[in-house]
């Protein structure tokens, strides 16, 4: 890990920029396991929340509310009853109802309005792509053919259920809106440059041999320095125990050769776990496939190792701008400017010291 001298001199800097192997930078032997992570393909997320449940079950994460009456609170955000990531929500399935007036939708929002309004239903999470009339008998995601032992891959690809001309989510003859639901299972990004880790004063946060970032509950003193250090607003302090908490990428399961609970529970393989380089290759192929279908709004988020956090260990395929999903468009690790700040502080100290010495020297000559 970069020390103050290295950062000051500029000879090494693991606080910002390209960093091919975070685990090696943290001091692990070169024979450490390959970096692992998540690739979340939101185009096949159905919003079932199996990932949320599996995460809580395996990691014994308490409920999100302060009492029983708060468990099923309405957030005013569609079917989203958890609201956001937090100390007791390590996986959060966002439900985004994207409502737009007829005729204002882009290709990814339903395209042109049909000349004759029709009534239809698209399964939850199915993005409306392209314009045109609704199918008369839309298939339900639950009846999709793939499955173990069959000819399919086991992945429910909702995009294949779309008619050639596209569809709207829910529409009646009286509707004057185009509605699209976007689902996305958010999680800690396990950044290449993790501001939460670099700013932790007690060493409670550490980089694992798998390249992930984990909080040690018995060391965390709940100071909260990590909370504003996260550019994604992921980590938080839990009021009931005073400690900071977030996704560990199921560090205990990784040590036993198991995949994280959320990825294991995902029925559509929207959450994929594996070696990061293999996930990145799979994501690139998936993006090219979608672009080939005309879904030009599809994009990868957190994939670029040259972004403001050096790339994420958990990255996403989105069907719209990051802001639509509540994600920052250009996250930057909060330690980016530390070397320059140290250099400026040192130069200022040297200048003040020189001025003080000059003042004493000049005063002594009188």
Residue 266 lies inside a defined structural domain of this protein: yes
What is the DSSP secondary structure assignment for residue 270, as one 8-state letter? -
What local confidence, expressed as pLDDT, does residue 112 receive?
Answer: 45
Same domain for 346 and 232:
no
For residue range 303-317, list pLDDT tens digits in order: 999 899 999 999 999
For residue range 181-240, list pLDDT tens digits in order: 899 999 999 999 999 999 999 999 999 999 999 999 999 999 999 999 999 999 999 988
Q: Which residue has the higher pLDDT, 167 or 66?
A: 66
What local confidence, expressed as pLDDT, does residue 164 receive?
Answer: 45
Contact, 280 vs 243, CB < 8 A? Answer: no
Q: List, as one string, the DSSP characters of 170-236.
A: EE-TT--EEEEEEEEEEE---BSS-HHHHT-SSS-EEE-TTS-EEE-TTT-----THHHH-TT---E
Same domain for 340 and 219:
no
Same domain for 228 and 86:
yes
Helices vs strands, H then E, count in the chain? 9, 12
For residue range 51-83, list pLDDT tens digits in order: 999 999 999 999 876 555 555 666 666 678 788
Same domain for 324 and 273:
yes
Q: d(Cα 327, Cα 341) in Å, to the nearest integer?
A: 28
Residue 137 lies inside a defined structural domain of this protein: no
Residue 306 lies inside a defined structural domain of this protein: yes
What local confidence, expressed as pLDDT, does residue 114 receive?
Answer: 40
What local confidence, expressed as pLDDT, does residue 97 receive?
Answer: 85
What local confidence, expressed as pLDDT, does residue 15 receive?
Answer: 74
Residue 352 lies inside a defined structural domain of this protein: yes
Least confident of 25-39, 90-104, 145-159, 228-242: 145-159
For residue range 322-360, list pLDDT tens digits in order: 999 999 999 998 887 777 787 888 889 999 999 998 888
Tell me what percent of the residues of the chain surpass a pLDDT of 90: 55
Same domain for 268 and 282:
yes
Residue 136 lies inside a defined structural domain of this protein: no
Beta bridge partners of 275: 36
The count of domains in the chain is 2
What local confidence, expressed as pLDDT, does residue 131 receive?
Answer: 37
Residue 32 lies inside a defined structural domain of this protein: yes
Residue 152 lies inside a defined structural domain of this protein: no
Same domain for 76 and 36:
yes
Range of the domain at 353: 336-365
Same domain for 236 and 209:
yes
First-to-last CA distance in the chain?
51
Q: d(Cα 87, Cα 324) in Å, to the nearest integer?
A: 23
What local confidence, expressed as pLDDT, does residue 243 receive?
Answer: 95
Same domain for 208 and 291:
yes
For residue range 43-52, list pLDDT tens digits in order: 999 999 999 9
pLDDT at 115 over 60: no
Tell me what percent of the residues of the chain surpass a pLDDT of 70: 72
Least confident of 11-25, 199-213, 215-229, 266-280: 11-25
Same domain for 203 and 343:
no
Q: List, as one string, the DSSP characters of 109-138.
A: GT-SPPSS---EE--TT----S-SPPPSSP
Same domain for 358 and 298:
no
pLDDT at 117 over 90: no
Residue 123 lies inside a defined structural domain of this protein: no
Same domain for 278 and 189:
yes
What local confidence, expressed as pLDDT, does residue 127 receive?
Answer: 44
pLDDT at 288 over 90: yes
User: CATH code at 302?
Assistant: 3.30.70.20
Q: Which residue has the higher pLDDT, 219 or 135?
A: 219
Strand, coil or helix: 54: helix
Average pLDDT for the chain = 80
For residue range 79-107, list pLDDT tens digits in order: 787 888 999 999 999 998 887 777 665 55
Residue of 269, 44, 47, 49 lying closest to 160 (CA atoms): 44
Span 17-29, mean pLDDT?
89
């Amino acid at each position: 890990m970069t020390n103050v001298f290295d950062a000051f001199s500029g000879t090494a800097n693991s606080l910002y920029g390209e960093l091919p192997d975070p685990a090696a930078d943290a001091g692990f032997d070169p024979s450490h396991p390959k970096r692992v992570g998540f690739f979340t393909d939101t185009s096949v997320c159905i919003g079932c929340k199996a990932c949320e449940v599996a995460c809580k079950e395996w990691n014994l994460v308490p409920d999100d509310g302060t009492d029983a009456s708060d468990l099923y609170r309405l957030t005013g955000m569609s079917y989203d009853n958890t609201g956001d990531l937090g100390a007791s929500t390590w996986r959060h399935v966002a439900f985004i109802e994207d409502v737009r007036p007829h005729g204002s939708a882009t290709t990814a929002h339903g395209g042109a309005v049909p000349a004759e309004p029709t009534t239809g239903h698209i399964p939850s999470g199915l993005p409306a792509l392209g314009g045109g009339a609704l199918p008369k008998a839309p298939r339900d995601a639950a009846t999709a053919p793939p499955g173990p032992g069959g000819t399919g891959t086991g992945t429910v690809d909702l995009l294949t259920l779309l008619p050639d001309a596209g569809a709207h989510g829910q529409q009646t003859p009286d509707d004057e809106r185009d509605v699209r639901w976007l689902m996305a299972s958010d999680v800690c990004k396990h950044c290449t440059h993790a501001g939460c880790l670099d700013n932790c004063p007690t060493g409670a946060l550490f980089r694992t041999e798998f390249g992930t970032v984990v909080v040690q509950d018995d060391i965390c003193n709940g100071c909260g320095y990590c909370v504003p250090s996260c550019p994604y607003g992921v980590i938080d302090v839990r009021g009931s125990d005073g400690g900071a908490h977030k996704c560990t990428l199921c560090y205990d399961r990784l040590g036993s050769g198991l995949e994280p609970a959320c990825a294991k529970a995902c029925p559509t393989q929207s959450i994929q776990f594996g070696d990061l380089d293999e996930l990145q290759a799979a994501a690139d192929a998936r993006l090219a496939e979608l672009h080939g279908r005309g879904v030009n709004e599809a994009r990868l988020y957190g994939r670029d190792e040259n972004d403001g956090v050096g790339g994420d260990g958990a990255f996403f395929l989105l069907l719209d701008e990051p802001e639509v999903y509540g994600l920052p468009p250009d996250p930057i690790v909060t330690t980016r400017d530390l070397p320059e700040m140290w250099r400026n502080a040192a130069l200022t100290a040297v200048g003040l010291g020189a001025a003080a010495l000059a003042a004493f020297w000049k005063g002594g000559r009188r």
